[in-house]
């Protein structure tokens, strides 16, 4: 049974029993505690906590949720049952059925006849575990389902008490295991051997709420949830192992094809998937990480140095590294990505639409990392050379950590190359530094978690009094004050000077979302005026007005008037509509792979981030600006349509990756097919109202992500007026017409370059004029002509190298050594060591002598036997360095 069919059977089983099928949420949710969705229940957390009422008429839902867990990336592939990406099939009850209903439905699907939609597992091979004191669950299993008592085992909190690992819902659980047979381990149930007995389903009886704490059992139980709920999770990949008759999750129809391709491109055989052979682990890393990286890119993440982007970068680089260590030459990512997209598309059809973009992101990172490997190899060789030069045999943990942390050079390759060079690596020191880094990261993460505001103060408003937004139709509304919040606590009144959050039943003020900043305005009642500086959403339903009481006072229950600042709204609408024009123009110029990665617009200004690997040319930027302004000139009507998500997509409307849309979505259409996007923001009614659009430029904001910035409306006019005045000023200075300025500036630039070239040549001749005097002062040290000189302050490293090269040439066939140093304009101490060919034949090396100089000027150097250079920080040590070189020549 293929994985796609396993998913379908699960969904149909629960739909037929009254559950509403809910599509998988994006891996990226607006949850400050999570980088990625890591459990099937995460999208349902507000319903379990009682923050929101579940939108399911029968109070039951089912989903196949995409999940990613990244805490133990380094352990992937060592065991054959865990993946970083996995699919969690779940059924959920919000105050409907509880333990008995959950157990019955799980059992009927697992053991049900295949012809009737079940999985057909042998009941005699199923074992269950329950929480230590959960007699109710044990009784249901034994008395109602008929599982013998000897196949029901009790485990403690570490195994059979579930939470997300952070504050939120929790409760005891009951797990279902499948006995794979004696060939996989010893008898005795899950307690005896969790390899033979594979966990396939976890039934969580969610009835408590936990507080802060670390670990699986070290947390406080805050109390009961408002209702007893059910959250279950069936591991799709593990069930696939059983139903496909394979040994592990890497042998299923989803991942084995990637391993087959890896065998082909590396020339290495994946031999025994149940052993910990290092090569087999690398194959599993390639398969696992290819799928995880692909799914993360699908949901809009691009490689970067922090957060989700850093996780993605690590995954992609581990794929490349593993393939290289298996023997791959050149690029392999395209084969891996195409293969995993083929296996996953039946379950996720949206992959087909994004195939080109996914490939582009992955291949760009591969190209960048291969360059890193090349430069890292050079850095390793320098470090290893210094170790050998000093008579050592071990590369320090600090050197290995620097290569890994600063330059992205993997420790596996460092170990391999050190072995080839006859060196060892201080692995203990390396891992100690890594552990310190992880500890710092965890401490920072905990600090950030504790820094998040407690949203429980808004809970009753989210469910009982969601805000009615009237801002699409009007700029002022009559409202009632439902709540006041100051310093995180509900209060009954606010006085003049107070900064307070105001919750209204009705508001025309737009709350920040979709890249558009919240409206500015006022809340007024009689002599009371509150200045609204920001509006934010809580739980997607509640508008929170952050305001200052400028005069008078406000009491909960007051009738007020909420007013939008019309100038702010007008300019904000212009910028948001201009963002849509820029997006459409981008896709027209660059093609469909230029996908939105984020945006921000405020009155008169917008920035638009998009996934694209190459910098845009001036001609492309000019095209984008021209197309946008042609749309303004066309005076197209801007239409908004409310419809279902499916119908919106059928119309061709674009959706933003990582965004979770409700059943009813709002489509903003400008010029028919020109621009059609899902958007909840405010817009002009005709494109001409946007005014001129002025593109400021574009830049990189991360690997594979570019950013365009632009002005709209009056801000655009002001910018263009300023630019015109600047050009006219330059034209006046040049005594030329405006259209002649580029040509005249180009001519002046060329003259400047020629002048600089002449000056450089004069400087070189002046510099070399002193070499005769330096040669005259050469010392004869043990038959070697030793030329040394501390040059005047301000002499640069390139000047020292020019001098050293000339001095070596003038020494001719004599054995000679040149040592030059100076303090440059930035108070650094560059130095150069040159050795003639005859001196090299006698055993001297510029690279080794540069290491000697570096010790005395508080720096280091490197290079080749004939020429080496370096930099230090202490010019006062140069004379000692010269003496040390003289001593080295004498020895």
Q: pLDDT at position 349, please?
A: 92
In the chain, how long is the greatest CA-to-CA distance?
106
Q: Which CATH class, in words, describes the domain spanning 771-890?
A: alpha beta
- Give per-residue pLDDT as tens, 625-675: 999 999 999 999 999 998 887 788 777 777 765 455 667 889 999 988 899
How far CA 641 is from CA of 390, 575, 645, 764, in Å, comes to 74, 20, 11, 71
The CATH architecture of the domain made up of 455-564 is: Beta Barrel (2.40)
Q: What is the tens place of the pLDDT at every residue in 42-64?
A: 888 777 766 677 888 888 999 99
* pLDDT tier, 612 (very low <50, low <70, confident <90, very high otherwise): confident
Question: At a CB cut-off of 8 Å and minimum separation 6, what does 407 contact?
Answer: 372, 375, 376, 379
Instruction: Give Cα separations from 755 to 711, 763, 767, 802 (angstroms).
Output: 39, 12, 18, 21
Helix H, strand E, coil C: the string for 818-847 is EEEECCCCCCCEEEEEEECHHHHHCCCCHH
What's the residue count for the chain?
891
Convert the pLDDT of each residue in 319-374 to its tens digit. Answer: 998 898 888 988 999 999 999 999 999 999 999 988 988 998 899 889 888 887 77
Listed in sequence order, the DSSP H helices in 526-644 are 566-590, 618-633
pLDDT, position 614: 81
Q: Given this model, what pLDDT does residue 446 score?
A: 43
Q: What is the pLDDT of residue 606?
A: 95
* C-beta separation of 67 from 85 below 8 A: yes
- DSSP letter string, 480-515: EEEEEEETTEEESEE-TT-EEEEEESEE-SPPSBTT
pLDDT recorded at residue 644: 83
Model confidence pLDDT, tens digit, residues 394-442: 989 888 888 877 666 767 678 867 876 788 999 888 888 888 876 665 5
Q: Going by C-beta distance under 8 Å and a sequence separation of 6 or more, which residues neighbour residue 522?
A: 529, 530, 531, 532, 562, 563, 565
- Position 450 scores a pLDDT of 34
Q: In CATH, what number does 569-722 get? A: 3.30.980.10
- For residues 516 and 209, the model is more confident at 516
Confidence of residue 125 (pLDDT cuts 50, 70, 90): very high
- Residue 451: per-residue pLDDT: 36
β pairing state of 506-507 and 468-469 = parallel
Tell me which of 254-268, 287-301, 536-550, 581-595 is least confident: 581-595
Mean pLDDT of all residues in 24-29: 86
Contacts of 311 (CB under 8 A, 6+ apart): 35, 36, 70, 73, 296
pLDDT in tens, 879-888: 999 999 999 9
The whole-angstrom separation of Cα 332 and Cα 367 is 10
User: What mean pLDDT value characterizes the chain?
Assistant: 88
Q: Annotated binding residue at 580?
A: yes
pLDDT of residue 448: 39
List the chain domain ranges.
3-246, 254-382, 393-449, 455-564, 569-722, 736-769, 771-890
More confident residue, 310 or 11: 11
- CATH architecture assigned to 3-246: 2-Layer Sandwich (3.30)
Range of weakest confidence among 154-158, 186-190, 817-821:
154-158
- What percentage of the chain carries pLDDT values higher than 70? 93
Predicted confidence (pLDDT) per residue in 682-709, tens digit: 999 999 999 999 999 999 887 678 899 9
pTM: 0.59
Residue 285 has pLDDT above 50, yes or no: yes
Rounded-to-integer distance, Cα 408 and Cα 402, Å? 9
683 known member of a binding site: yes
Of residues 445 and 831, more confidently modeled: 831
Percent of the chain with pLDDT over 90: 53
Q: At what angle do helices 355-389 and 846-856 cross, to 10 degrees?
A: 80
pLDDT, tens digit (0-9, with 9 covering 90-100), for 267-278: 999 875 555 588
11-20, 266-275, 527-536, 563-572: segment of lowest average pLDDT = 266-275
Q: Considering only CA atoms, which of 436, 524, 432 is closest in space to residue 481?
A: 524
pLDDT category at 447 given cuts 50, 70, 90 is very low
Q: How high is the pLDDT of residue 770?
A: 80
pLDDT band at residue 305 under the 50/70/90 scheme: low
DSSP structural state of residue 691: -
Q: What would you report as the CA-atom Rg of the chain, rounded to the nearest whole angstrom?
A: 34
pLDDT, one tens digit per residue, over 145-164 is: 999 999 999 998 888 988 86
Provide the 3-class DSSP secondary structure of residue 715.
helix
CA distances from 669 to 94, 642, 674 (A): 38, 11, 8
Asked whether the predicted pLDDT for residue 562 surpasses 90, the reply is: yes
Q: Is the pLDDT of residue 453 over 50?
A: no
Residue 849: what pLDDT?
A: 94
Average pLDDT (787-808) is 90
Helices (H), 522-658: 566-590, 618-633, 645-651
d(CA 146, CA 640): 58
């Amino acid at each position: 049974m293929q994985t796609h069919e396993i998913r379908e059977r699960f969904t149909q089983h629960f739909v037929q029993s009254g559950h509403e099928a809910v599509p998988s949420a994006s891996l990226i949710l607006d949850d400050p505690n999570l980088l990625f969705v890591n459990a099937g229940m995460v999208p349902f957390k507000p319903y379990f906590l009682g923050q929101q009422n579940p939108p399911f008429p029968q109070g039951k839902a089912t989903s196949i949720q995409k999940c990613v867990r990244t805490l133990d990336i380094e352990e992937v592939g060592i065991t054959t049952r865990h993946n970083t990406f996995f699919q969690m099939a779940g059924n959920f009850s919000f105050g409907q059925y509880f333990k008995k209903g959950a157990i019955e439905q799980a059992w009927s699907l697992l053991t049900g006849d295949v012809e009737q939609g079940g999985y057909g597992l042998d009941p005699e091979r199923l074992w269950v575990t329950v929480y230590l004191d959960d007699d109710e669950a044990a009784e249901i299993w034994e008395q109602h389902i008929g599982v013998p008592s000897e196949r029901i085992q009790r485990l403690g909190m570490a195994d059979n008490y579930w939470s997300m690992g952070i504050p939120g819902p929790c409760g005891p659980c009951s797990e279902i295991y499948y006995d794979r047979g004696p060939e996989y381990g010893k008898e005795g149930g899950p307690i005896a051997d969790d390899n033979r007995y594979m966990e396939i389903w976890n039934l969580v009886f969610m009835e408590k709420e936990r507080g802060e704490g670390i670990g699986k059992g070290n947390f406080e139980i805050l109390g009961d949830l408002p209702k007893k709920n059910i959250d279950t999770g069936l591991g799709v990949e593990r069930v696939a192992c059983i139903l496909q008759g394979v040994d592990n999750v890497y042998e299923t129809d989803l991942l084995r094809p990637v391993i087959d391709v890896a065998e082909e491109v590396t020339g290495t055989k994946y031999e025994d998937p149940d052993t910990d052979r290092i090569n087999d682990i690398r194959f599993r890393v390639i398969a696992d990480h290819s799928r995880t990286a692909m799914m993360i890119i699908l949901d809009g993440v691009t490689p970067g140095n922090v957060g989700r982007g850093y996780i993605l970068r690590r995954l992609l680089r581990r794929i490349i590294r593993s393939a290289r260590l298996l023997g791959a030459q050149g690029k392999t990512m395209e084969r891996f990505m195409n293969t995993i997209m083929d296996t996953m598309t039946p379950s996720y059809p949206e992959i087909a639409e994004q195939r080109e973009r996914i490939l582009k992101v992955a291949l760009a990172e591969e190209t960048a990392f291969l360059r890193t490997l090349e430069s890292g190899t050079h850095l390793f060789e320098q470090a290893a050379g210094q170790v050998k030069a000093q008579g050592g045999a071990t590369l320090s943990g600090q050197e290995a950590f620097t290569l890994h942390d600063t330059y992205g050079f993997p420790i596996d390759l460092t170990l391999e190359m050190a072995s080839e060079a006859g060196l060892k690596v201080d692995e203990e020191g390396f891992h100690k530094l890594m552990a310190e880094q992880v500890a710092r990261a965890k401490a920072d993460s905990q600090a950030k978690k504790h820094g998040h505001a407690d949203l429980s103060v808004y809970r009753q408003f989210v469910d009982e009094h969601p805000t009615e937004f009237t801002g699409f139709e009007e700029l002022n509304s009559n409202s009632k004050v439902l709540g006041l919040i100051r310093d995180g606590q509900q209060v009954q009144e606010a006085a003049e000077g107070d900064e307070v959050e105001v919750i209204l039943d009705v508001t025309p003020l737009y709350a920040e979302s979709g890249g558009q900043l919240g409206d500015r305005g006022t809340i007024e009642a009689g002599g009371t005026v509150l200045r609204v500086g920001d509006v934010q959403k809580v739980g997607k339903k509640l508008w929170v007005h952050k305001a200052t009481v400028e005069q008078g006072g406000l009491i909960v229950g007051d009738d007020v008037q909420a007013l939008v600042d019309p100038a702010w709204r007008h300019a904000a609408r212009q910028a948001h509509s201009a963002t849509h024009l820029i997006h459409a123009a981008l896709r027209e110029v660059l093609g469909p792979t230029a996908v939105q990665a984020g945006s921000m617009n405020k009155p008169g200004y917008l920035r638009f981030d998009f996934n694209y690997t190459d910098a845009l040319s001036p001609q492309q930027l000019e095209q984008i600006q021209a197309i946008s302004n042609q749309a303004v000139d066309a005076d197209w009507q801007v239409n908004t349509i409310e419809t279902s998500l499916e119908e919106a997509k059928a119309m061709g409307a674009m959706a933003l990756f990582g965004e979770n849309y409700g059943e009813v979505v709002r489509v903003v259409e400008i010029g028919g097919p020109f621009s059609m996007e899902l958007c909840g923001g405010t817009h002009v009614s005709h494109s001409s109202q946007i005014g001129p659009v002025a593109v400021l430029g574009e830049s990189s904001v991360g690997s594979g992500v570019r950013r365009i910035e632009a002005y709209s409306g009056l801000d655009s006019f002001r910018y263009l007026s300023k630019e015109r005045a600047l050009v006219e000023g330059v034209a006046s200075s040049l005594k030329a017409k405006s259209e002649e300025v580029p040509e005249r500036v180009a001519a002046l630039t060329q003259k400047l370059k020629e002048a600089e070239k002449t000056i450089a040549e004069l400087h070189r001749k002046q510099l070399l004029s002193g070499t005769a005097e330096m040669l005259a002062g050469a010392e004869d040290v043990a038959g070697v002509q030793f030329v040394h000189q501390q040059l005047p302050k301000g002499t640069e490293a390139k000047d020292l190298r020019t001098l050293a090269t000339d001095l070596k040439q003038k020494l001719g066939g004599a054995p000679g050594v040149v040592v030059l140093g100076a303090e440059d304009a930035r108070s650094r101490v560059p130095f150069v060591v040159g050795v003639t060919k005859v001196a090299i034949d006698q055993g001297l090396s510029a690279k080794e002598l540069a290491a000697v100089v570096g010790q005395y000027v508080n720096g280091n150097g490197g290079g080749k036997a004939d020429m080496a250079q370096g930099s230090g920080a202490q010019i006062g040590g140069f004379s000692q360095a010269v003496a040390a070189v003289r001593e080295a020549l004498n020895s």
